[in-house]
Structure 1
Amino acid sequence: MTDDLVTWAEMLAREQLHELPRRLAHVEGVARQAERVADAVDDPELLVAAAWLHDVGYSPRIAVTGFHPVDGAEFLKEQGAPHRLCALVANHSGAHVEARYRSIGLEWPDERSTLRDALWWADMTTTPTGGTTDVRRRLAEVRERYGPDHVVTQTVTAAEPELVEVVARIESLRQAKIRSR
């Protein structure tokens, strides 16, 4: 791993997701969104690195369980990534809900911090092609893409109140920062 966590994360994401150009475009957009709120968290570099790596578990070379947050976190652990980074990836965007639906235990603690919320916000306000959106449109797009009976659709439906609340917290924080300037 290089000294610069963000550079290492970006290189690793590009290496692992180059076969999935749409997923990589989403990850690039999430990283851009994370940069927009990085000054609001305790470790801006970690936030942006987590944004680059949050979906690395989709890589066909990494997927083991088929549950990308856990596959990504386990891969990152093997790469020597910081424990906090692995936990952020394992728990991103309401992964605990999907883990329950899939009967997969999450061994990584969810820190429930502003940094964690900022990562979820970045993911929930980025389209699959890397553009920006709002959380409700993002959730509607996920439901449409997966269809009504898929575990991901069930997950986002169950997690929606929490996801909307997290996004609202970060939006409120962003507005407060704008007003204080």
Structure 2
Amino acid sequence: MDEVIAGWARQVAEAELGDALPRRWAHTQGVAARAIEVGRVLGKDGDLLAAAATLHDVGYAPRLAVTGFHPLDGARFLRDEHGADERLVRLVANHSFALLEAEERGLREDLVAEFPLLEETLLVDALIYCDMMTTPDGGRTTAEERVAEILGRYGDDSVVGRFIRRAAPEIFAAVGRVEEALAAQPR
């Protein structure tokens, strides 16, 4: 991985999450570790995946939580305060089917207008895989267990609960596509 990008992403994420939200920081570190493993199927985009994985939840930081929708808040922060790469910002904004949650929150138009979804399916799927295969404490899990954990934490009738139920089939499909790509890669 490009050490400059990796170091910058880690520095930014740790500064925003490390002390304020240590459990979220632990999750972030686990997601970043998955990204390093998965990056081999993406070639040159492996570095971009690792940076996006490290920064995907930065919008949870209390000082950045303007809308309360962490993908949008994080992407705006990366764009506005850091002038981050457009593809990186768009990955953060749209990670793990954020568009569906944006609909639940009445923020779909904002998200689409500012940060259109990348059309690079495997790259987008890889970030979903890394996020959904990592527990809140940074450990490994399955996508099914992760969806169940999210539902248990937020509740079925919450905004997040409604979103994750809608997104679950797509999450499982994305994870399956990444697992197929990983299985097809020579070791």
Question: After TM superposition, is the score higher than 0.5?
Answer: yes
| Counterpart position of 1:21 | 22
| Counterpart position of 2:4 | 4
Higher helix share: 2
Question: How much does 1:111 deviate?
Answer: 1.3
Q: Percent sequence identity over matched residues?
A: 49
What CA RMSD, in Å, does the superposition of the two structures yield over aligned residues? 1.3
Q: Is the counterpart of residue 109 in structure 1 residue 155 in structure 2?
A: no
**Alignment size in residue pairs:** 178
| Counterpart position of 1:126 | 134
Deviations 1:49-85 (A, max 9, x none): 0000000000001110000000000000011101111
User: Which of the residues 133, 136, 143 maps onto 1:135?
Assistant: 143
Give, in whole Å, the separation in 2 of the partners of 1:132 and 1:159: 20
Residue correspondence of structure 1 range 93-108 to structure 2 within 5 A: 93-104=96-107, 105=109, 106=111, 107-108=114-115
Give the aligned residue type for 2:56.
H
Flag as ranges the 4+ runs of structure 1 deviating above 4 A: none
Give the aligned residue type for 2:98.
A
Is the 8 Å Cα contact of residues 6 and 46 (structure 1) preserved in structure 2? Answer: no
| Counterpart position of 2:167 | 159
Give, in whole Å, the separation in 1 of the partners of 2:7 and 2:49: 13
Give the aligned residue type for 1:127.
T
Give, in whole Å, the separation in 2 of the partners of 1:45 and 1:7: 11
| Counterpart position of 1:75 | 77
Segments of structure 2 that go 5 or more residues without pairing to the other structure are none
- Partner of 1:117, secondary structure, is helix
Deviations 1:69-112 (A, max 9, x none): 00000000011101111100000001000001111021211114
| Counterpart position of 1:36 | 37
- Partner of 1:4, secondary structure, is helix
Deviates more, 1:61-70 or 1:42-51: 42-51
Segments of structure 1 that go 5 or more residues without pairing to the other structure are none
